[in-house]
Amino acid sequence: MNDLLLLAAEEHVIEAGTGGFWSDTAGIMLVTPFIAFLAILAVGKRLKYQGGEIAVAALAVNLVWATVLFVMNMTGGVLDTSNTFEIARIGSNLVFELGWVVDGLSIMMYFLVNFVGLLVFVYALSYMHGDVRVPWFFAAFSLFAGAMLILVGAPNLVQMIIGWEGVGLASYFLIGFYWHDLDNVRAGNKAFMTNKVADVGLILGAVILGVTLGTWDFAALDEAAAAGGEALGAVAVVAGLLLFFGAMGKSAQFPLHIWLPDAMAGPTPVSALMHAATMVTAGVYLMARTFPLFEHLATEARSWMVAIGAITLFAVGLLALVADDIKKVLAYSTVSQLGYMMTAVAAGGYTAGLFHLFTHAFFKALLFLGAGSVIHAVHSNFMQDMGGLRKAMPTTYWTFLVGSAALAGIFPLAGFWSKDEILATLGAEGYTAVMWIAIAGAFVTAFYMTRCVALTFFGTYKGHGEPHESPRLMTAPLIGLAIPSILFGLLNIPGVELPGIGNFTEWLGVRVVAMGDHHAEAIDFALAGLGLGAALLGIILGWAIWGKDRLSQQERDRFQVPVLYPLLRRKYLVDDLALGLVGATTGPIARMVDWTNTYVIDGIVNAVGGVTKWLGGLVYNGLDQVGVDGIFNGLSAAADTAGSALRKMQTGRVQQYASGFVAGALILVVLFVFVI
């Protein structure tokens, strides 16, 4: 069986194209955003859009490459090459490299990041207009794009870590973009620190894998995992779980999800691109990159990962039901959808997880941009200030509706197909209970999105002023994202090959074949019906509760989930516990350490000084009236002497310093001569 797969893989390797010029120069994509970053910092202030145009231009250039590669990959045989150069070599064999991979997986991500990124950047031109520090916004946003592409293109784990921390840094900058308010700074800190905790796992996992394999190359990891090497097998579960712990941070898996809702403190375009479409999928991407490790060796780790994913997709999804802030609804939804992706990949559904990552990026970015458009119009994040906006903001309304339906998994929109594939994978891999949780999750998703749409666009307007549709620079990206949200599900209908281009599964390429990834060969109508039924039920129930303006929002929320409501409002106490624990321990321990430093260690030092001085006095007064007391005079006596000496010296001249120095040096020399 294994042999057959390997054989199949080899055949595909022969088929695999190199992409010629376009893949050889694909590294440009990893560089242009950094050039944009510097250029914006340098001249952004002076430009019309304060640097936004530079950021947009960089991603536009990138999108050319990404699109060409994407199309080549679809039509001319799957690409599989990488270009690297050495940045360090230690001893004879330990090599660090940077470079870029051009294969199905990375091409998919290049396209995603640059396509969604470009639309969000364009949107931001208008959204951020007149805001504070716009050049810095676009600079940091470009920094993010560059770091994300470094992460995506990484041929080895170390480069991925560089990108990984880079996007974390940009995230910190942009969450705390409105840093004059310390609450936003704290949100940024929380994000950075939660991720840093998770990164301990990533770093240690990388250390173990790197030392075991002698390299951080993903290709080598693939090979060693497929060959079932003994050395790697011995550490695979530990290393795998450590990597997964890292992924839990970036991809906001329970209980490390706590940073993501707070991250909504950043400007909405940031939430759309980073905290929904791309950056938060880095954890899933990491799992996909290292998939062979979990497929062949770290199999024991996978049930844990599935469990975490399942908890995330359901429990955190519920939190979206009670959020008042439209962005937080979407944030919890994102966490929940990341749970779907993670569950799928952990269960063995490489393609299923990545396909959901792909479709989710479009419709979730769309939803966030839509929310931004609404916030722009009503000047509030809270849904109790909204309502009835469907007339005033038709484009926003219709595109938001498309996004919501896609997210809820309504046939035939994108989310329907990708979610269905996850359900099929879970069923086929024997995770039946988790499959039912995922179906229940589909119900919850439709439920909270109905609430969100109803509270925002239906009923009567409850805010101030008169909301208007956003300018075209903002609505155009909405439409640009709505189209793939509708259509892109069709790219991977089980068993369907699109004429001339195949399907998403094939584009992911060679590794999929080698890895024996589960993907359905035909549509399972019963399962698809179940998923769709759950979603429809969620919409009907949701509409029944929130569809009419009879009661206030809170009353309707409470009515819906009487027992769980208080618990959900407190976010399962996870935030309180985590922050409480950190707050209750770090401060006191730090103060204890500082106290130890001052009173114990330095206490000893000072005591030695004091005792020496006392001894000196004893020797001088008691034993030797004419003795030299200088040497053993201890700390405080020396302090006195030197103090007055120095005071004299300050009033003196350089010659005195020089002579002081020469005297000191002479003493040393004399010491030498005597000792030697």
Partner 1 sequence: MDWFETWGLTITVFLPVVGALLLGFIKRDNEDALKRTALLVTALAFLASVGVVIGFDYGGTPYNTYQFEVNETWIGAINANYHVGIDGISLPLLVLSTFVMVLAVIYSWNHWEEPKNPKAFLILMLILATGMNGTFVALDLVLFFIFFEIVLLPMYFMIGIWGDKAPRKVPGFAREFETRLYAAIKFFLFTLFGSAFMLLGFLAIYFESGNVGAERTFDIPALTELGAAGAFSGPGNFAFLVFGAMFLGFAVKVPMWPLHTWLPDAHTAAPTVGSVLLAAIMLKLGSYGFIRIALPILPEEAVSWAPFIAILAVIGIIYGSLACLAQTDMKRLIAFSSVGHMGFVMLGIATMTDIGINASIIGMVAHGLITGLLFFLAGSISHRYHTREMARLGGNIKLMPVLGGILAFTAMASLGLPGLAGFWGEFMSLVSAYNPLDGLSLGVFRTAMVLGAVGTVLTAGYMLWMLQRVNLGEPSAEWEGRQFHDVDRFEMTAWVPLIILIVVIGFYPKVVFNATTDAVTSLVDAAFGTDTTAALSSLVKGG
Residue 650 and residue 657: Cα distance in Å, rounded? 9
Smallest distance, Å, CB 666 to partner 1? Answer: 11
Smallest distance, Å, CB 203 to partner 1? Answer: 6
Q: Give the three-class secondary structure for 101.
A: strand
Smallest distance, Å, CB 30 to partner 1? Answer: 11
Smallest distance, Å, CB 181 to partner 1? Answer: 8
Is residue 179 within 8 A of residue 42, CB to CB? The reply is no
* Closer of 193 and 523 to partner 1 (Cβ): 193
Q: How far from chain centre, in Å, is Cα 227?
A: 31
Residue 146 and residue 117: Cα distance in Å, rounded? 11
Q: Which residue has the tokens 């997964």?
A: 244
Is residue 98 within 8 A of residue 163, CB to CB? The reply is no
* Closer of 27 and 309 to partner 1 (Cβ): 27
Residue 404 and residue 374: Cα distance in Å, rounded? 15
Residue 178 and residue 342: Cα distance in Å, rounded? 32
Q: Which residue has the tokens 């034993």?
A: 623
From residue 582, alpha-carbon distances to 190, 198, 302, 587, 658 in Å are 11, 15, 29, 8, 53
Smallest distance, Å, CB 555 to partner 1? Answer: 37
* Closer of 140 and 512 to partner 1 (Cβ): 140
Q: How far from chain centre, in Å, is Cα 496?
A: 33
Nearest to 356 by CA among 291, 289, 416, 403: 416
* Closer of 468 and 591 to partner 1 (Cβ): 591
Smallest distance, Å, CB 31 to partner 1? Answer: 11
Give bridge partners of residue 217 from the DSSP assignment. Answer: 156
Residue 576 and residue 59: Cα distance in Å, rounded? 40
Nearest to 416 by CA among 427, 429, 402, 428: 402
Smallest distance, Å, CB 83 to partner 1? Answer: 16
* Closer of 89 and 464 to partner 1 (Cβ): 89
Nearest to 477 by CA among 389, 570, 372, 561: 372
* Closer of 159 and 336 to partner 1 (Cβ): 159
* Closer of 21 and 85 to partner 1 (Cβ): 85
Residue 331 and residue 276: Cα distance in Å, rounded? 7
* Closer of 544 and 669 to partner 1 (Cβ): 669
Smallest distance, Å, CB 586 to partner 1? Answer: 6
Residue 145 and residue 35: Cα distance in Å, rounded? 11
Q: Is 357 left (phi over 0), alpha (psi -120 to 50) or beta?
A: alpha
The 10 Å CB-count burial string (b at 16+, else e) for 423-453 is: bbbbbbbebeebbbbbbbbbbbbbbbbbbbb
Residue 305 and residue 267: Cα distance in Å, rounded? 32
* Closer of 567 and 649 to partner 1 (Cβ): 649
Peptide bond into 562 cis (omega under 30): no
* Closer of 462 and 613 to partner 1 (Cβ): 613
Smallest distance, Å, CB 140 to partner 1? Answer: 11
Smallest distance, Å, CB 71 to partner 1? Answer: 31
Smallest distance, Å, CB 305 to partner 1? Answer: 21
* Closer of 559 and 599 to partner 1 (Cβ): 599
Residue 656 and residue 320: Cα distance in Å, rounded? 75
Residue 384 per-residue DSSP state: G
Peptide bond into 292 cis (omega under 30): no
Smallest distance, Å, CB 326 to partner 1? Answer: 26
* Closer of 551 and 662 to partner 1 (Cβ): 662
Q: Give the three-class secondary structure for 98.
A: strand
* Closer of 551 and 667 to partner 1 (Cβ): 667
How many Cβ atoms are within 10 Å of 39's Cβ, its own excluded? 19
Smallest distance, Å, CB 182 to partner 1? Answer: 5
Smallest distance, Å, CB 331 to partner 1? Answer: 22
* Beta-strand runs (E) in 42-93: 80-90
* Closer of 566 and 587 to partner 1 (Cβ): 587
- Give the list of residues 6+ apart from residue 399 with CB closer than 8 angstroms, or none: 366, 370, 475, 478, 479, 481, 482
Residue 198 and residue 259: Cα distance in Å, rounded? 12
Give bridge partners of residue 90 from the DSSP assignment. Answer: 94
Q: How far from chain centre, in Å, is Cα 237?
A: 23
Q: Which residue has the tokens 């001088």?
A: 620
Q: Which residue has the tokens 């155009």?
A: 476
* Closer of 220 and 479 to partner 1 (Cβ): 220
* Closer of 433 and 631 to partner 1 (Cβ): 631
Smallest distance, Å, CB 588 to partner 1? Answer: 9
Residue 652 per-residue DSSP state: S
Is residue 98 within 8 A of residue 75, CB to CB? The reply is no
Smallest distance, Å, CB 152 to partner 1? Answer: 15
Rounded to 10°, the helix 157-175/182-213 angle is 180
